[in-house]
Amino acid sequence: MKRTDYCLKEIAARFGGQLLGNAEITVNQIATLENAQAGHLTFLASEKYRPLLAVTRASAIIVSTADAEATQLPRIVSDNPYVYFAKASAFLNPPAVVVPGIHPSAVIEAGAHIDPSACIGPNVVIGAETRIGAGCVIMAGCSIGAGVTIGIDARLYPHVVVYHNCILGDRLIAHSGAVIGADGFGIAMTEDRWLKIPQIGRVVVGDDVEIGANTTIDRGALDDTVIEDGVKLDNQIQIAHNVRVGAHTAIAACVGIAGSAVIGRHCRIGGGTGILGHTQISDNVEISSFTMIGKSIREPGTYTGIFPFNKHDVWRKNAAQLRHLDELAKKIKLIQQEIETLRKES
């Protein structure tokens, strides 16, 4: 039978931190300060939630050094309570154990190699010459094209689609509805109609990548679209052909990235952001939600391009003034020149 209760000292022995209070107290789940009950381990990662310390019913708590004496609950003191919470939560909530095997309804085409430890669910289709690594879980209704390579311990949730020849790394998580390797939007106008340009590149995904539900990553037109190690993609993101996303970058929901954009390592991109094609973004850039990136960003830092909301009539007046900014700037320049001329004459 699977164990579910752990002493606080066992968790501290695994993840470190200073123990204060009753180290023998047992916990079996993570919860918020507000909703925690007996048996729960909670955490304080922001000072705005400090008042909840007085009312939480948790059995134990993870706190920062600054808050080590802010409560008398049994506690683990950590330099980064939020990261500690993430580790403890993963420990207390491991993935369900999966039984290896291939469901009878799955369609496995000629030459496909599936490691004996993998689990292939109902109505999965796996194309010719595709390779599925050890410990992979391919859930119901997934469709994997020919010549695909998937590393070890990948988990594809129901109805993920992977087009032909794509390469997916170890420990990939792809959520339902994700599409990897669809054709990029490559078209050329000839006379009075559009001509489709074959998209002959691939999608290459590194290790430890997570792809959210209904996110699409297009294959390259000529070269590959590349998602480097440790990238985390939220739901409903569009990544166009020949984009490169640097290692350990995190991108929130509904971002659109146009073709051939290059995003650096350790970037954080807020939801709803739009990034135009052929732009380059430096490492360690943070982009606020709903910002439009129309040119390259060469230096690390935080970038924001949001027009603040207001009451509708006020917003319309302010927006109308924006149309005249160039004209106003020219007038100011002329006034400055006239002032300078008057100074010289005096």
Q: What is the pLDDT of residues 257-284, one digit of tens each?
A: 999 999 999 999 999 999 999 999 999 9
Residue 98's pLDDT is what? Answer: 87
Q: What is the pLDDT of residues 178-228, one digit of tens each?
A: 999 999 999 999 989 999 999 999 999 999 999 999 999 999 999 999 999
CATH architecture of residue range(s) 101-303: 3 Solenoid (2.160)
Q: By CB neighbour count within 10 A (0-12 exposed, 13-18 middle, 19+ buried), where does 102 fall?
A: middle
Taking residues 88-93, report their average pLDDT: 95
Q: Are 274 and 253 in contact (CB under 8 A)?
A: no
Start-end of H helices in the chain: 8-15, 81-92, 312-322, 325-345
Taking residues 230-238, report their average pLDDT: 98
Q: Which residues are catalytic?
A: 241
Residue 29's pLDDT is what? Answer: 96
Q: Are 81 and 64 in contact (CB under 8 A)?
A: yes
User: Residue 307: pLDDT above 90?
Assistant: no
Residue 2's pLDDT is what? Answer: 65
DSSP letters of 34-75?
TT--TTEEEE--SGGGGGGGGT---SEEEE-GGGTTS--S-E
Residues of the chain with pLDDT > 70: what percent? 99
Q: What are phi and psi of 35, to 5 degrees?
A: -105, 0
Q: Calculate ∠ Cα 118-203-194, nearest 5°.
A: 135
4: confidence class by pLDDT, cuts 50, 70, 90: confident
User: Residue 1: pLDDT above 60?
Assistant: no
144: confidence class by pLDDT, cuts 50, 70, 90: very high
List, edge to edge, every strand of the sheet that includes 29-30: 18-20, 75-77, 60-63, 40-43, 29-30
Amino acid letter, 32: T
Residue 276's pLDDT is what? Answer: 97
Amino acid letter, 92: L
| Both structure tokens of 140 | 């119901």
Nearest one of 277, 177, 175 to 225, comparing CA atoms: 277
User: Residue 248: pLDDT above 90?
Assistant: yes
Taking residues 320-341, report their average pLDDT: 90
Taking residues 108-126, report their average pLDDT: 98
Contacts of 104 (CB under 8 A, 6+ apart): none
Q: How far apart are CA 66 and CA 233, in angstroms?
A: 33
What's the distance, Cα to Cα, between the start and end of the chain in Å?
A: 94
Query: Helix (H, G, I), strand (E, B), or coil: what is residue 82?
Result: helix
Residue 112's pLDDT is what? Answer: 98
Contacts of 36 (CB under 8 A, 6+ apart): 42, 56, 57, 58, 59
Please, how many CA atoms are within 13 Å of residue 301, restricted to the half-sphere of its CB? 6
Taking residues 31-46, report their average pLDDT: 96
Taking residues 117-137, report their average pLDDT: 98
Rg (CA), the chain: 27
Query: Average per-residue pLDDT in the chain?
Result: 95
Pick the CATH number of 6-92 from 3.20.20.70, 1.10.10.10, 3.40.50.300, 3.40.1390.10: 3.40.1390.10
Q: How far apart are CA 274 and CA 159, in angstroms?
A: 27
Q: What are phi and psi of 177, to 5 degrees?
A: 85, -5
Contacts of 343 (CB under 8 A, 6+ apart): none
